[in-house]
Homo-oligomer: A and B are copies of this chain.
Amino acid sequence: MRLSRYFLPILKETPKEAEIVSHRLMLRASMIRQQSAGIYSWLPLGLRVLDRIADIVREEQNRSGAIEVLMPTVQSADLWRESGRYDAYGKEMLRITDRHEREMLYGPTNEEMITDIFRASVRSYRDLPLNLYHIQWKFRDEVRPRFGVMRGREFLMKDAYSFDTDMERAKEAYNRMFVAYLRTFRRLGLTAIPMRADTGPIGGDLSHEFIILADTGESAVFCDKALLDLPIPGEDTDFTGDLSPIVKAWTTPYAATEEMHDETAFAGVPEERKVAARGIEVGHIFYFGTKYSEPMGAKVAGPDGTERPVHMGSYGIGVSRLLGAIIEASHDDAGIIWPDSVAPFDVGLINLKPGDAPTDEAVAVIERELEAAGLSVLTDDVDTRAGAKFAAMDLIGLPWQLIVGPRGLATGEVELKRRATGERETISLEAAINRLTAGRR
């Protein structure tokens, strides 16, 4: 992509309304634009990251055996009356009346609707286990939206819902999501720690939050440092097998959010391994048994022919919130430092002298070669000062910068910079291309 044809209206000034670094950087890098309180447009750079995050989430959901659907954003109030949550949900629910005076709402979550889909089509234990997920916009009418996409009102969430014949099998479904979440967050470049959590308005008696540690986190968290070094289950994990040993390894060391914190238990953690920090919730999983299936009549016949309500769980990942969380965990004074897996472009290719024919030509050749190897490239072909180019590239945080100018080209050299380390190297054009495309073709 050529910058001259792209839409990247970078802000020179730091927006005053932004209280935390991720919000400031997302606004400055023109990833998002606020349209109303807690409601954002995703500009091209932000959307690319959002899509890459969603793709990783999707891949890991699919790997675990979950199946993708897409439920609408607008729901009927009647469905929520069946579970009793329509009145209970409070002001966070955005209530809507349509032209025929029917009561509707903008879905804050989808337990009721997925239960409705299930009861309409599944009759037998033979169709289980089943886990359906979607990645869809939700709305929660927060009284005080803030921190940019971290606590927005309209936000993108992945929510999965599992259906099983009994508690034991439902816990297997829970374990599959638990492991999928460990893999998902690691692939996003995050260290997320599962912590026993309160179940809140979803209900149920088993729940973990996945929390990443960050100074700007919204809640206090307490855990055993051992959790930071546990290995993540590999790509070859057998999701049809017994995952309980993995879950056990991850749930045995102490870890809890503020609400669930137990000073007595925490005292048992060796002093040098005690972590008391602040955390950002990026995922939340629940087992809630028959809380929805019972009142809504979602039953399946067992092998003996008897119908019983299914045991359910739900599993959320805050997809749009993850952009903020990743930036909170990965930035420096100059800007964002994207993990390779979610960067909006792999390489920022800087033309130091647009209009100079040999430089333009060299840049075009490099761009072609990198793209042919499957790399995405943002080429700065705009006629601005070198200092402004470097600052903008650092701000938007692409993993690699390749700097090409007439002086270096005279001796066949370019400069390659790794954003994360700041390391810069002057090397031959060929070596730079080889370095970037290694393992790609």
Which A residues are within 8 Å of any B CB, using their own CB?
A: 5-7, 9, 30, 33, 35-36, 39-44, 47, 50, 65, 67-76, 79, 91-92, 94, 96, 98-99, 102, 104, 106, 113, 116-117, 120-122, 130, 132, 137, 139, 141, 143, 153-154
Cβ-defined contact, A7 with B130, below 8 A: yes
* Cα–Cα, bound, A69→B92 (Å): 27
Please report whether the interface of chain A is mostly helix, strand, loop or mixed according to DSSP.
mixed
Measured CB to CB, the closest approach of chain B to A188, in angstroms, equals 19
Q: How far is the CA of A192 from the CA of B7 in the complex (A)?
A: 31
Residues of B within 8 A of A120 (CB): 9, 33
Sample (14) of A-B pairs whose CB atoms are under 8 Å apart: A7-B132, A33-B117, A33-B120, A35-B76, A35-B116, A41-B71, A41-B72, A41-B117, A42-B69, A44-B67, A74-B106, A74-B153, A91-B99, A96-B96
B141 and A98 within 8 A (CB): yes
Contact of A154 among B35, B74, B130, B141 (CB under 8 A): B74
- Whether the pair A44, B72 counts as a contact (CB closer than 8 A) is no
- Please give me the residue from chain B that is nearest to A136 by CB atom: B137
**Cβ contact of A137, chosen from B40, B116, B137, B143, cutoff 8 A:** B137
Bound complex: CA of A66 vs CA of B7, how far in Å? 10
Given the complex, which residues of B lie within 8 Å of A30, measured CB to CB?
A: 121
CA distance A6 to B106 in the complex (A): 28
The chain B residue sitting closest to A42, CB to CB, is B70
Most buried by B among A7, A30, A117: A7
Minimal beta-carbon separation of A257 from chain B (angstroms): 26
Chain B contacts for A6, CB-based, 8 A: 67
Cα-based distance from A96 to B96 in the complex (angstroms): 6
Residue in B closest to A383 when the chains form the complex, CB atoms: B126
A74, B7: Cβ atoms closer than 8 Å: no
Contact B69 A44 (CB under 8 A): yes
List 10 A-B pairs, minimum CB-CB distance, nearest first: A9-B121, A42-B70, A36-B76, A91-B99, A41-B71, A99-B141, A72-B154, A39-B72, A47-B70, A7-B67
Q: Roughly how many angstroms separate A370 CA and B113 CA in the complex, as a whole number?
A: 36
CA of A96 to CA of B44, assembled, Å = 28
* A314 shortest CB reach to chain B, Å: 16
Residues of B within 8 Å of A33, CB to CB, are 117, 120-121
Residues of B within 8 A of A106 (CB): 74, 96, 106
Give the distance in Å from the alpha carbon of A96 to the alpha carbon of B73 in the complex: 14
Contacts of A122 in B (CB 8 A): 9
Residues of B within 8 A of A47 (CB): 68-70
Q: Evaluate contact between A70 and B41: CB separation under 8 angstroms.
A: yes
Q: Which residue of B lies closest to A30 (CB)?
A: B121
Cα–Cα distance between A175 and B258 once the two chains are bound (Å): 59
* Nearest chain B CB to A129 CB, angstrom units: 9
6 A-B pairs besides A44-B132, A74-B106, A94-B98 with CB distance below 8 A are: A36-B74, A36-B104, A39-B74, A72-B137, A74-B139, A96-B106
| Partner among B69, B91, B94, B130 whose Cβ is within 8 Å of the Cβ of A41 | B69
Q: How far is the CA of A88 from the CA of B79 in the complex (A)?
A: 33
> How many Å lie between the Cα of A41 and that of B116 in the bound state?
11
On chain B, the residues within 8 Å of A68 by CB distance are 44, 47
Name the residue among A71, A98, A113, A137 with the largest chain B CB count within 10 angstroms. Answer: A98
Query: How distant is the Cα of A94 from the Cα of B139 in the complex, in angstroms?
Result: 15
Residues of B within 8 A of A94 (CB): 74, 96, 98
Query: A9 contacts which chain B residues (CB < 8 A)?
Result: 120-122
For A44, the closest partner residue in chain B by CB is B67
